[in-house]
Amino acid sequence: MTAEGSRGAVYRQEDDYDRRMSPYDPSAYPPFAVTVDLVVLTVRRHALCALAVRRGEPPFQGRWALPGGFVRPDEDLGAAAARELVEETGLCAHDPGTPLPEAGNGAHLEQLATYGAPERDPRMRVVSVAHLVLAPDLPAPRAGGDANSARWAPVDELLDQEGGFGREEEQPVPLAFDHARILADGVERARSKIEYSSLATAFCPPEFTVGELRRVYEAVWGVALDPRNFHRKVTGTPGFLVPSGGTTTRQGGRPAQLFRAGGATLLNPPMLRPEV
Amino acid sequence: MTAEGSRGAVYRQEDDYDRRMSPYDPSAYPPFAVTVDLVVLTVRRHALCALAVRRGEPPFQGRWALPGGFVRPDEDLGAAAARELVEETGLCAHDPGTPLPEAGNGAHLEQLATYGAPERDPRMRVVSVAHLVLAPDLPAPRAGGDANSARWAPVDELLDQEGGFGREEEQPVPLAFDHARILADGVERARSKIEYSSLATAFCPPEFTVGELRRVYEAVWGVALDPRNFHRKVTGTPGFLVPSGGTTTRQGGRPAQLFRAGGATLLNPPMLRPEV
DNA sequence: ACAAAAGTGTTGGATTTACACCCATGA
DNA sequence: TCATGGGTGTAAATCCAACACTTTTGT
């Protein structure tokens, strides 16, 4: 352990930091590392998937983890998350003020929660501000050019503590650190938020059909919805969808109207998630 | 500025902190101070109020601020918030796992959001994990024995950027730091959460009447509710309230049944907040 | 012609609202 | 007796789930 910056050192523990004067006295407060971790969700092949990166170094070497990195000395938390997102996926999400939901270039980014248990990283005291990203279906992820060190995985698979091997040769090992918990919290947030907000459109391309939007709800909630009532509901909610004029038959069947996301962010009345 | 720990110093900016090996290398990551700030809400005299403490030192000397303090080196975030709460109010709220809502000794504590804009504290780089506390009406707050350095203030008054002087001689100055934003976020969270959860009971004493619970909703939402429909709604929602057997006439009029909070945390169907 | 997906109409039941009305106490 | 808050009944309006049925394409 070095003299300063290590756990267990003795600091002047003034509870009311607000009453302190000295501007920069490192001995007066315990230093933490602050990082951002990203829960990046998308809907692929009718399943809710999250972005995972493979760890190349200990601890948890070889295990899957959420993407993330340090917050820089002069960077806001949301900006750090947006930067990491670009670096890991090429996705551009506009940085909102910390807890403001906001759509950027298709993707939605918001702060999720902060995780700071003392032993969550065995190397040092790390406080991680997790962020949630909802993105449309993307090409295979790049991670520093290295393929197969990053992938989209169904969240059920990543959270499955039991067996449940993926179709591939992937192992059912839990995620590194407390990332399973973070991912579960992010998934829960997404599930409840599409109920009363228009966020489900963040999973869709710029133009989409009502059926495509319905399949997003079905994948995120893991339920089947009545296509007819769903159609009435979403087209009848003011500000949710605006027709873009075109039609498509990319799903087969009768041509479907194309829509864009409307201006409304809060849905009133909300979408109803079927019981159990 | 001292050599290390100050803004603008140059660190090895590895984006992927997960790939680093060295356990405790302070030059490898930028150190932050991590604090918790508390939004403590209660309902007093038919108004939603928040706990504010007066700052005795610069910056923002003499201004009102939210209570808070440093996270200790071996302390979890929720534990730090619970500790600060006890120190400032004597209230006991059980520490939940980070984002888990949980009731302790009457009060509810949950993580709210994290604020880390680079210039939010002029002294140093501080990341503050804000927590939300919902408490029943309390005796006058104590703050280190010093009265009049802590008070309950109506949130409207604390958030009013314009005039709107309080009844007292209090000034309409905005809160210190970014605490107005934090308070506003906390209030918004409380307003929306009592809609679909049983959290409104956290504002009530252990035993309360339906009318008292209704006045909580009215104060938090700032609306008037129909007492008759409200009664049917809350008593008809399974798990929300359980009769404690007793009655009271402390509100005058016909004796009212006393209830305790039931086991349910999520309300289905939710309470409906009247439009506009 | 047939399958598949999009969309409209209709109906019965549940929920919500608005308000009339009665109940039990203290002053 | 009156004022005050507690609590029940009821009818109209609204919302929602279920499903029959029509439309428009590709094969």
Q: Quick one: pLDDT band at residue B253, thresholds 50, 70, 90?
A: very high
Q: How far, in Å, is the CA of A233 from the C1' of nucleotide C17? A: 22
Q: Which nucleotide is nearest to A275 (CA to C1')?
A: D17
| Identity of residue B96 | P
Is the Cβ–Cβ distance between A57 and B18 less than 8 Å?
yes
Give the integer Cα–Cα distance in Å for A174 and B28: 28
Provide the pLDDT for residue A88. 84
Please give, rounded to a whole number of angstroms, the shortest distance from the CA of A208 to a CA of chain B. 30
CB-closest option in B11, B68, B113 to A99:
B113
Domain annotation for chain B: domains and CATH numbers? 29-190 (3.90.79.10), 197-261 (1.10.10.10)
CA of B228: nearest nucleotide by C1' is D7
> Does any CB of chain A come closer than 8 Å to the CB of residue B56?
yes
Cβ of residue A256 near strand C, that is under 7 Å? yes
The predicted pLDDT at position B170 comes to 55
- Amino acid of residue B23: P
Question: Which of the four pLDDT bands, split at 50, 70 and 90, describes residue B25?
Answer: low
Nearest nucleotide to A228 by CA–C1' distance? C7
In chain B, which among 146-205 make CB contacts under 8 A with chain A? 176, 185
Region B67-77: what's the mean pLDDT? 95
| Residue B245 burial class via C-beta count within 10 angstroms: exposed 0-12, middle 13-18, buried 19 and up | exposed
The DSSP-derived string for B140-170 is: PP-STT-TTSEEEEEHHHHH--S----SSS-
Residues 181-240 of A with CB under 7 A from strand C: 209-212, 227-229, 231-232, 235
B30 contacts in A (CB within 8 Å)? Answer: 33-34, 70-73
Residue B45 confidence (pLDDT): 93
Q: Return the bridge partners of A64, or none.
A: A54
d(CA B45, CA B137): 9
Cα separation, A33 vs A30, in Å, equals 10
Per-residue pLDDT in tens (0 to 9) along chain A, 276 residues: 333 333 333 444 444 444 444 445 555 677 899 999 999 999 999 999 999 999 988 899 999 999 999 999 999 999 999 999 988 887 776 544 433 334 345 689 999 999 999 999 999 999 999 999 999 997 766 655 454 688 999 999 999 865 444 445 555 789 999 999 999 999 999 999 999 999 999 999 999 999 999 999 999 999 999 999 999 999 999 999 999 999 999 999 999 999 999 999 999 999 999 976
CA of A221 to C1' of D23 (A): 30
Beta strands in chain A (DSSP E): 31-44, 47-54, 64-65, 68-70, 102-103, 108-115, 126-134, 150-154, 241-248, 256-261
The size of the A-B interface in CB pairs under 8 A is 194
Is the pLDDT at B98 greater than 90? The verdict is no
Query: Residues of A with CB below 8 A from B73's CB?
Result: 7-9, 11, 30, 118, 125
* Token duo for residue A26: 């490192």
Query: pLDDT value at position A138?
Result: 78
Q: Strand D: which positions are within 7 A of a protein CB?
A: 3-9, 15-21, 23-26
Beta carbons of A118 and B18 less than 8 Å apart = no
Query: Are the CB atoms for A77 and A70 separated by under 8 Å?
Result: no
